[in-house]
Structure 1
Amino acid sequence: MIPYDVLYKIAIFAVIVVVTAVLAKIFSLLIKGMFRTWAPVVRTHTQRLVSISIWILGLIFAIEQLGLRTDLFLLILGLLGIGALLAVKDTLENIGAKYFSDVYVPFKVGDIINVRNSSGKVIEINPITTVLLTDDKKLISVPNSVFVKEKVVNMTPHVWKEILVPITIRSDVDLPRFESEVLKACNKMRRYLDDRFPPVLTVKGRGKKYVDLVLALMVKAPSKKNEIISNVNQKISEIEGKMMRGKRKRRK
């Protein structure tokens, strides 16, 4: 027969795991609600980071309730983490810079840019570098970290009108319906947009759990960009939330 104190510790462990799952979900929903006007990709990654952090803390606390020491485990984990970060510092810097340039630096594949005395057409943006094709058909590979440190000039015609909104949604969201709802929401803001260039939603990448999209809009007045971005981000959050609630109801 299993001793009572062992059963008690196992029960406490299970309760902490359940509470951790509930807290992770609550904080994820709070972040989604509080930061509706943020870029969807930033909001989604923030939700993931907070959720993972809560799970790590919860599991460490739960393991301690079993009477197991976590000091050595945390020390080894910390040393391995520091070593890994130092080993791939430059790579992580470029990957991190790509994340921020996707959200805040206004250029995309097909644009003509000038950065650090190099000019060319952007033909590829990968996790480490951005590749430019020059007028004399040469390739220039620019580390992504450069774009958050140096001045970038986008020389593409009409680029001052363009807004790019990065979006990350769950892979189980009905993409055609989501696209339809987003474009309908954009049409309600037609007074701010250039009628010659309709809104376009394109897929940047697909994963097992998430799909990365980009919404391209052309505005009439650059002074309205921040207002439009804020409204679009809020509408996207509402659309995704509405679709997920509808999906849960259908399951029931």
Structure 2
Amino acid sequence: MNSDNVEAPTKGVQSFLAERLHLIADLLQQYPLLGAAMVLAIALIIALICRFVVFRQLRRWLPSDRTGPGATLLVQLQRPVFTTILCLGLIAAHRLLTGGTGGGPVASLLSTIILVSWVRMLFFQCGTLLQVISAKSARFSLIDQRAIPLLDLSCKLLVILFGSYALLLIWGINPLGWLASAGVIGIAVGFAAKDTLANLFSGFFILADAPYKVGDYVNLDSGERGRVTQIGLRSTRIMTRDDVEITLPNSLIASGKIVNESGGPSSSIRVTIPVGVAYGSDADQVCEILLGVAQQHAELAQTPEPRVRMRGFGASSLDFELLVWINLPEERGRIRHELLLGIYKALAAHQVEIPYTKSDIYIKELPSLNPASGGSQ
């Protein structure tokens, strides 16, 4: 009895809902314009709820840093989501008006708008998405920071390729013929632009191997020396000490030796200053003088500390080296100049001789002046 009493109201509710749905379906068939307007209104309401309610709530769940990559990605997602919901509503409304006989050009156009909105967002936000993944996975080191530029470029290429493929499918174009034609054209372009392709592949290898990054101070095998300002697919730009920016093809850099002065365990680099003093000088005093000059210079790195080493016995001097560390490689010339001046003045003040090349001439015998040999009286 109890189960019959429960099932009876349930069946009544189901039959009531079924009748109402049939009435709504009949009404929509009789008045398709009204049904299209209802579908469009529902889609617009859902899109507005997602944009002004759902995304606002998601932003509240983010950390306090509202300018990070996660917040940027969330803001950029609003437009494609809103466009997708609204265009899907337009497609459904159009099918109601046409009696469900397919979308035709209108549906293809709306689908293209959806595709373009997502491709545009993904193309410009690939780097932001990788930053979000890197931040979330920093504990597990799933993505290395140096690999982000290469992954960003690869993701952009994949977005363009898949977007183009999907666009052809939306408009009912067979992509196989286009791919075959693209292969033939690619071979011809490869032969015509082999130098450009060599630079592109070298750019990929530089971004993947990361022998240097933007901001590093490098010495190239071709003689260029300066700070890296930009790494592109085709070339790398370096700002020299003359404040002149030079652009080098990546193929030239990839095939040569690269000395990265900023790539060690710390940003500081060592500067070695050889000093020679005359034999007979007090070696301990010389060490104290050199250390004093280094300690008085305010721009030297505190860690590691300056040190002095005696390296050998030269032909005319005791050979020492003052080892100091500087924070910026481009300051090496100026700091070396200042240290050399300070060393010269300090040694002169303590009367420590700096040897220089000397030549002593010994005359074994003076020629004799014999009057009988034809000389005049």
Which of the two has higher C-alpha Rg? 2
Answer whether TM exceeds 0.5 for this pair: no
Higher strand residue share: 1
Structure with higher RCO (Cα < 8 A, 6+ apart): 1
TM-score (norm 1): 0.41
The normalised TM-score by structure 2 is 0.30
